[in-house]
Structure formats: structure tokens, C-alpha cells
């Protein structure tokens, strides 16, 4: 058996531990790739068009709280959506420490089917005031690759979940104009895992240490909107969802193959010393949408929307 030089192994182990601090959000999803808009069947049927102006049902508590002024009765609405995506990787990965290609498989379909749900309620407080409640999942994503994935040193499991709880009030100023808004409490959870590159021991044993970072946080934002009713058939709405900052705290755990302790106890100890707390900050983007709705006949309507989301806020997720 070839003798492993201690100083070199220590350096490689330290490099592997340091790699845990360089998780990129791009490994989990490309910004808008993990945004979820699936809420109610009605919204899906309209492809979310005109959501800022429709005010069809209680989901307007989320899409534009000003629209609650158009609802005449107390109402509870909700939905569950099945999401069955498919994603494959094709290519190769280069080992930054050796310059050679990393051996492994392509990974297959890394995205599993999932369900997303939402629940809304609107309640009349007076002829002009409405109270709205909402529970939504605006962000969610999970990819999972096998342990011998060619890109294992970048990502194995990436999981992001956000659940929003909203409370809103609307006020009908007159027969044409209403406003609404309220706070949004967001729970955010992330888990990121990757294989750690210790070339000498990995090549010798065919096994890699696995780094696992997990954390969560609760952040607070707000949602405000306005609705202008031009006439009984036409209305225009605008809605703004604020950005929400999360100061995430959690843990970093490194699982070291048992054989590492036998071959190089010092290296195994150095890797295990990487078990620690982990912190990071992330800001979920703000967005503004403008929608228009026009009723042509009792059975037909046309609608349109324009939305801008500040995705530039999600360039990366650095964990320390």
C-alpha cells in the first residue's frame, strides 16, 4: 500500500472542508427556476394572467389584497397541485485539484414529483372592510443525484422550501377604487449536500466524504395593492410583494467513510472537525405586477398581466 504523505492529506482535507462554504444557489436552481405559482385551479386555468385584477375568489388576498373589496361574501378557497418535472444532466466535470475528469454517472432525472398547495380566506368586517388570510408556497425545489454522480463535488441533494403566511386588510374607498395590504411571514428552509474532494483517499478507496448543510429562518415582508374599477366590465390592478431577508442558521455535518480513519486518522479527524454551525443570508426577491381584466360577456373575459421580479438578488448563497 502506498504511504500517504500527512502534510498533503491535511491540505486536501482542509480544502475539502472549505468547499462547503462555497455552495452556489446556481447548483440548486437558476433563480426563477424554483419559483412556484401553482395555487388554485382557476389561476392555473388562466395561466396566472390578470391575477392582479380578476378578484374572482379568495386567492386575491395573495395576488392583490385590494381585490377583496369586490367579494360580497365570506369565502374560503384552496388547491393542491401536482408537479412532475423532468431534468437531466449531460456532460463532464473537471477535478480542479488534478485537472483530470471526474469519473461517474450522468445522474438521470434528478427532480422528483411533488405537490404544492395553497389556502385562502376572505371575511367581511364591514361593507367597506375585508380581512384576508393566505398560506402559500412561493418557492420550492429539490434535486437529488446518486453518490457516484459526475457532478457530486458540486451537488448531491439541493432542497429549498419557502412557506408564506399572509394577513391583509382591504378598504373600499369608493365605487371605483380600493386598496389593500398587510404583513407576510415567510418560513425558509434549505439543505445542500455535496461530496468533498480528497483526491488521494477518494481515488484509493472509491469513497468520498459527504458534506451536509441544513438551516432555516423566519423572515417578514409585506404585500400591498390597488384596484381601479373603470366600469362594471373593466378593472386594472397593481400589486407589490416586498423582498424578504433571511438570516439562516443551521448546521454543517461531514460524514467521513470509516476506511479513512484506518488509512489516515489525521485526515479523518480534520474532516470531522468541519462539523460546526453554519450561517448565511439570502434575500428573496420583491416583485410588482400589473393586471387588466375585461368582461366581454357573462361567459367570456379577456385579461393580461405584466410582472417584474428582482431576480438579481439571488446570484449566490454563501455559507460560512
Alpha carbon 79 to chain centroid distance?
Answer: 19
In a domain, 98, yes or no: no
In a domain, 144, yes or no: yes
In a domain, 33, yes or no: yes
In a domain, 222, yes or no: yes
According to DSSP, the residues that pair with 82 across neighbouring strands are: 115
Q: Which domain holds residue 158?
A: 6-83+117-314
Alpha carbon 260 to chain centroid distance?
Answer: 36
**Tens of pLDDT along 51-101?**
999 998 999 999 999 999 999 999 999 888 888 878 777 777 887 667 778
Q: What is the pLDDT, as a whole number, of residue 204? A: 85
**Tens of pLDDT along 129-188?**
999 999 999 988 888 888 888 888 888 998 889 999 999 999 999 999 999 999 999 999
Return d(Cα 182, Cα 47) in angstroms, integer. 25
Q: Which three cell numbers stand for residue 264?
A: 489516515
In a domain, 275, yes or no: yes
Element (H, E) at 239: strand 234-241
CATH number at residue 214: 2.40.160.60
**Percentage of the chain modeled with pLDDT above 90:** 52
What is the mean predicted confidence (pLDDT) over 2-23? 41
Q: Are the CB atoms for 248 and 188 separated by under 8 Å?
A: yes
Cβ neighbours for 7, distance < 8 A, ≥ 6 positions apart: none
H-assigned helices in the chain: 6-19, 25-28, 41-45, 51-54, 60-63, 199-205, 258-263, 265-272
In a domain, 60, yes or no: yes
Alpha carbon 25 to chain centroid distance?
Answer: 10
pLDDT higher than threshold 60 for residue 311: yes
Return d(Cα 57, Cα 39) in angstroms, integer. 12
The reported pTM is 0.84
Residue showing cell 458534506: 211
- HSE-CB of 203 using CA atoms within 13 angstroms: 12
Counted domains in the chain: 1
In a domain, 111, yes or no: no
In a domain, 97, yes or no: no
Return d(Cα 132, Cα 121) in angstroms, integer. 6
How buried is 271 (Cβ within 10 angstroms: 0-12 exposed, 13-18 middle, 19+ buried)? buried
Q: What angle do CA 262, 268, 272 make, to 5 degrees?
A: 145
Amino acid at each position: 500500500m502506498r504511504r500517504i504523505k500527512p502534510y498533503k492529506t491535511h491540505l486536501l482535507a482542509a480544502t475539502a472542508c472549505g468547499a462547503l462554504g462555497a455552495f452556489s444557489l446556481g447548483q440548486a436552481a437558476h433563480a426563477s427556476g424554483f419559483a412556484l405559482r401553482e395555487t388554485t385551479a382557476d389561476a392555473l386555468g388562466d395561466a396566472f394572467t390578470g391575477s392582479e385584477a380578476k378578484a374572482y375568489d379568495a386567492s386575491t388576498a395573495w395576488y392583490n389584497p385590494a381585490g377583496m373589496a369586490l367579494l360580497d361574501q365570506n369565502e374560503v378557497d384552496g388547491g393542491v397541485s401536482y408537479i412532475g418535472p423532468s431534468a437531466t444532466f449531460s456532460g463532464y466535470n473537471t477535478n480542479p485539484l488534478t485537472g483530470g475528469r471526474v469519473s461517474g454517472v450522468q445522474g438521470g432525472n434528478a427532480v422528483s414529483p411533488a405537490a404544492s398547495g395553497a389556502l385562502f380566506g376572505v371575511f367581511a368586517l364591514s361593507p367597506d372592510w375585508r380581512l384576508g388570510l393566505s398560506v402559500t408556497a412561493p418557492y420550492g425545489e429539490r434535486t437529488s443525484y446518486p453518490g457516484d454522480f459526475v457532478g457530486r463535488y458540486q451537488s448531491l441533494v439541493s432542497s429549498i422550501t419557502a412557506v408564506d403566511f399572509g394577513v391583509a386588510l382591504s378598504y373600499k374607498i369608493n365605487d371605483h377604487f380600493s386598496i389593500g395590504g398587510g404583513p407576510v411571514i415567510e418560513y425558509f428552509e434549505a439543505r445542500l449536500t455535496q461530496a468533498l474532494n480528497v483526491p488521494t483517499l477518494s481515488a484509493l478507496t472509491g469513497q468520498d466524504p459527504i458534506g451536509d448543510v441544513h438551516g432555516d429562518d423566519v423572515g417578514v415582508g409585506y404585500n400591498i395593492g390597488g384596484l381601479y374599477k373603470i366600469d362594471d366590465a373593466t378593472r386594472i390592478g397593481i400589486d407589490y410583494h416586498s423582498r424578504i431577508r433571511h438570516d439562516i442558521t443551521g448546521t454543517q455535518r461531514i460524514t467521513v467513510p470509516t476506511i479513512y480513519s484506518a488509512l489516515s486518522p489525521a485526515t479523518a479527524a480534520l474532516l470531522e472537525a468541519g462539523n460546526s454551525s453554519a450561517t448565511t443570508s439570502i434575500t428573496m426577491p420583491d416583485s410588482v405586477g400589473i393586471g387588466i381584466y375585461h368582461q366581454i360577456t357573462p361567459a367570456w373575459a379577456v385579461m393580461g398581466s405584466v410582472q417584474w421580479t428582482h431576480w438579481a438578488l439571488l446570484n449566490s448563497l454563501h455559507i460560512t
